Amino acid sequence: MSPSPLPSSPSPSPSPLPVLELAPVVPVVVVEDLADAVPLARALVAGGLPAIEVTLRTPVALDAIRAIADEVPGAVVGAGTVISPAQVTDCVAAGARFLVSPGWTDVLLDAMKASGVPFLPGVSTTSEVVALLERGVREMKFFPAQAAGGTAYLKSLAGPLPQARFCPTGGIGPAVAPEYLALPNVLCVGGSWMLPSDATASGDWARVESLAREAARLRP
């Protein structure tokens, strides 16, 4: 009797590099009103920031991801603040084209790897970076960037761990973003400064587009 074939291993998720190299800044978006999702995304794309991270911090986040995926062809919409395998499944079903977590566990990492979409697990310590490198992950989110040591910390990692590359997020604004982007181990930065609350509250999408355009020109 022939032995049963071994189950095939799940295909590895694609690299996040094509997403992270689209622009120097990935807007980190908190959608409070679902009606804002599409015009907000259109403004960001028009300003040159097509990769958009919609965080799972509001009840309408999944619907916002779905709306952007369906109605804004130029957007590469992803999900942020992903912290459970169930959220991984829900976000991919909603149309998320990449996943971002503030930190990681083995269970969460396995779910993101099995999702079939690019993912960016969060780190803030050297041990976490080394652990991810052991698991074959080279692209990571450095969070919370400013509070966790900022550019000085990332500079210190570049020597012993040059294979690790980062998207720093957390406390970054236009004044310090170029300092991060000048580092050899930084691919892009995440931030929300191009989405001031007064502009989003009033629907001033022209201002959002203008701020996005400035952010798209930040790479040294």
Q: Which residues are catalytic?
A: 53, 141
Q: Smallest Cα–Cα separation from 77: which of 92, 60, 58, 59? A: 92
Q: Containing H/E element for 53?
A: strand 51-55
Helix ranges, the chain (H): 17-20, 37-46, 61-71, 85-94, 106-114, 126-134, 150-158, 177-181, 197-202, 205-216
Does residue 23 contact residue 50 with C-beta atoms inside 8 Å?
yes
C-alpha span between 213 and 98 (Å, rounded): 22
C-alpha span between 186 and 202 (Å, rounded): 34
Q: Smallest Cα–Cα separation from 24: which of 43, 46, 48? A: 48
